[in-house]
Structure 1
Amino acid sequence: MDPRLQLAIENDDVAELHGLIVAERNLLDRLSKEPFPNTLLHIAAATGKTHVAMEMAILKPWFARRLNPDGRDGFTPLHYVASEEGDSERELLAEFLSACGSSIEDLTSRCETAVHIAVQNYNPRAFKVLFGWLRRHRLTKILNWKDEDGNNVLHIAASKNQLEIIRLLIGHTNVNARNFDKKTALEIFEANSPYDPNVAKRLRRRGCFARPFTPTLSLSEFFSKGLTAGEKCAYFFGVQDESARDIILLVSTLIATATYQAALSPPGGYWQDSTNSTVVATDSNSTAMEKPHRAGNMILNGTSLYVFTVFNGTAFFFSIGTIWAIAIAEFPKTFMVYLSMSILGLAYFISHLIEFPNSDEVAKRMLEGFYGSLLTAALFLPVVVWGMHVRVLKRIDATGRGVRIFLGTKDRK
């Protein structure tokens, strides 16, 4: 290593580091070309040079995921910092997470996350940083990931009688989950003497409301099973070609807009007055019969009314159904799209109830049943399908980390 660079690290001098980078633009890349490089981030983190380490985490976030020659057991800089106490290490941990959040998924050879490491090393301050970051990014499911012994973070905290961490984890982890010794966190906690009865009471109470324990699946068992309901929907409705998906969504949106507008402004318009009796209107050409009607009902009636309503309504529901089908392949990330389509369908349904002539009561009831069935399916089917899918995924032991691709997160590169 260049003596000037070594001196900059020893002095924790960020200004000098940037001066060297300006002088040699590819300095950081040159020093990290080896398969297992000892990057500046590794060196700075190991020697406690917080400012240089933070700067490296910002300039080269991927350094946080690289293993150096001493990175035995799969330890990354994030694992190392999570094991160390002190204000500087805590700030560095926060910087790592901000610069390279995906490193939270990195595992040691024992299937341990940085959260496992923090708890095992009795480091509640580092745990609070990790816990807060996971909550803000809605990644608390990582707290249920298990190590090679089947222990999640709550199991470890219970075995080490770390009351402060246990209190934080209650409500964010499955307290009924069992490790490979078939023990829950409560059973582990009660086996340790002495233990806090108040914490045990909270664990016991939470266990009554948590989902009951079900037999787990290994990753190989999961792949050997048939597709879940959610995967079948994603496979059937998913459009892999992005340009084709954009065209389908655009055309479906235009059709939904046009048909909804047609429902609000039907041919012939609406009656402006109300009458309960049959009125005969005669002119020089013909005699027309006006059935009893109410102000706001569609003037259109008879065969024309049925043809317009059926075809316009079918086109509308097929268009929002197409949008819904593409959205469900990415459920629950597209929940707001699903909800918006359901509300739009409900508004269309209600408008027909208001506008349809009272004189055509039988046809009105038939259309109510038809549209009501479509709307009910649109509201509840995605929730039921996704619920069945998630119930299977939750049975998978988190030691098989590849399953995260089914939970909506991208695989590591």
Structure 2
Amino acid sequence: MDPRLHQVIEHDDVDELHRLIVEDQKFLDRVSEDPFPNTLLHIAAAAGKIQVAMEVAILKPEFARKLDPEGYSPIHLALQHEHYQTARALITLDPELIQVRGRRGITPLHYVAGKEGDNELELLAEFLSVCRSSIEDLTSRCETAVHVAVKNHNLKAFKVLFGWLRRVCLTRILNWKDQDGNTVLHIAAFEGQTEIIKLLIGYTNVNVKNFQNRTALDIFQVNPHFDEAVASRLHPRSTSTLSLSQYFSSELSVFEKYSNFFGIQDEATRNMVLVVATLIATATYQAILSPLGGYWQDDSSNPPANSSSVITANSSGIAIEKPHQAGNIIITGSQLYSFAYLNGTAFVASIASIAVVAISLWPHTLIIYFSLTILSLAYCFFLVIEFPKSDRVVGTLLYEFFGMLLGTTLALPIPMWLRHIRVVSRVDATWRRLSNILGSKG
């Protein structure tokens, strides 16, 4: 290396670095011509020279992802030499540096998950917060950061990872397997880590077997740290497991057939249907709140003088009206029936369209189903109370008719989905992203 670079790094001198670049503009490029270069950024990061490291990372962002001959990126080197402030500084430029795989596929997240110490714990929490997807990165042995923490008996790091996974609803990662087919629960049983086992029960599948066809209980029973109380909670449940090939070979469930039939796969079409259906639902709901002709503002119990008119005159010439209550719809008879039927049909169709689109996204759209149910109940309620007494029978019939349609549309998928999820929860898959394939949390 040019002796002048040693001076730049030793004194963390950014100005001198730029003077060298002015003298030779290809200076930094010449250093990185090797397939696995030991760039100025690698050297500065290993030495903890933040200013030079940041300046080079800004000038040459690609250096931050390059591996040196030993298989380490600059952020790996900063962590190995415990220059944590340098590592923090680098990820402010590019949070995805946390996902750079070095030797054996180890990322910076894997590295800090295997190290003990308060500084490493804080860095682990920061990495998770800054780059959520880093938790899905695997080493060359198909290990997640949780695997690494447990294998290194790093209880504090495991608790950080476990708590974060629960907060972001990613506990399904606890069931991912390494290259030997071991989940985190299997490894904890191997190592006799009873405290970790207790935490994992309820969040992992105790029925899962590794590639040696052993469950966590089978492994734990021969461990010197065997605990009968813990073992009793590891007993496999009565339901049998299915391999991924067995699951794919089985017939489609009723829910899968239902969602395939009604689901819309094209995203642009789905968005268009949702927008139009939402506008129709809004318009029809507003129409039932503000119908044509409006509402009566007062009560009247005068008998009708003419069934075909709203306002008539009695023998004394005093104007009288049909009997009504304040809040009733003014229009009556066939006009009211036609309005209520057509408006209700449009409302049901729009709600059904939204529900159909939401089916393919279950269970994440359950809150939408709940909202649609409340909206439907409110619509039917308004439909009944706004009808005048003279038309109350027709209003009740319409309420029952539309209520049945809405109830069937919204409630039918629920029992089908519950049966489907019971089957999916039995699948023992080595494929890490099974939940994405099946479209469910299972």
TM-score strictly above 0.5: yes
Aligned-partner SS, 1:338:
helix
Higher relative contact order (CA 8 A, sep 6+): 1
Q: CA deviation at 1:290?
A: 7.9
1:107 pairs with one of 130, 138, 155: 138
1:171-250 to 2 correspondences below 5 Å? 171-180=202-211, 183-200=214-231, 203=233, 212-218=238-244, 220-225=245-250, 229-230=255-256, 233=259, 236-238=262-264, 240-242=266-268, 244-250=269-275
Residues 111 and 399 of structure 1 are in contact (CA less than 8 Å); yes or no, is this contact kept in structure 2? no
1:368 pairs with one of 379, 399, 409: 399
Q: Deviations over 1:211-256 (max 9, x none)?
A: 75332222x44444555535852673325243x5444333323322
Aligned-partner SS, 2:305:
strand
Corresponding residue for 2:287? 262
Residues 46 and 77 of structure 2 are in contact (CA less than 8 Å); yes or no, is this contact kept in structure 1? no
Aligned-partner SS, 1:131:
helix
Answer yes or no: is 1:41 the counterpart of 2:75.
yes
Corresponding residue for 1:16? 52
Q: What's the Cα RMSD here?
A: 3.6
Aligned-partner SS, 2:412:
helix
Q: CA deviation at 1:407?
A: 5.9
In structure 1, the gaps of 5 or more residues are none
| Corresponding letter in the other structure for 1:8 | A
CA distance in 2: counterparts of 1:289 and 1:378, whole angstroms:
45
CA distance in 2: counterparts of 1:35 and 1:351, whole angstroms:
71
Corresponding residue for 2:122? 91
Residues 46 and 74 of structure 2 are in contact (CA less than 8 Å); yes or no, is this contact kept in structure 1? no
Residues 54 and 90 of structure 2 are in contact (CA less than 8 Å); yes or no, is this contact kept in structure 1? no
Residues 41 and 63 of structure 1 are in contact (CA less than 8 Å); yes or no, is this contact kept in structure 2? yes
Corresponding residue for 2:62? 29
Answer yes or no: is 1:333 the counterpart of 2:364.
yes
Aligned-partner SS, 2:371:
helix
Structure-2 change in CA distance of 1:393 and 1:55 (3 Å): farther
CA distance in 1: counterparts of 2:73 and 2:257, whole angstroms:
41
Q: Deviations over 1:354-387 (max 9, x none)?
A: 1234444653443233222223234423433443
Q: Deviations over 1:140-177 (max 9, x none)?
A: 11112233444322232133221221232233223444
**Further displaced range: 333-342 or 138-147:** 333-342
The structure that has the greater radius of gyration is 2
1:364-403 to 2 correspondences below 5 Å? 364-403=395-434
Corresponding residue for 2:158? 127
**Further displaced range: 257-266 or 40-49:** 40-49
| Corresponding letter in the other structure for 2:48 | D
Structure-2 change in CA distance of 1:63 and 1:264 (3 Å): closer
Aligned-partner SS, 2:331:
coil
Corresponding residue for 1:59? 93
Aligned-partner SS, 1:213:
coil
Residues 13 and 51 of structure 1 are in contact (CA less than 8 Å); yes or no, is this contact kept in structure 2? no
| Corresponding letter in the other structure for 2:97 | F
Q: TM-score normalised to the size of structure 1?
A: 0.80
Calculate percent identity across the aligned residue pairs: 48
Structure-2 change in CA distance of 1:191 and 1:311 (3 Å): same
Q: CA deviation at 1:342?
A: 1.8
How many residue pairs match? The answer is 392
Q: CA deviation at 1:64?
A: 3.1
Aligned-partner SS, 2:426:
coil
CA distance in 1: counterparts of 2:171 and 2:390, whole angstroms:
57
Structure-2 change in CA distance of 1:81 and 1:234 (3 Å): farther
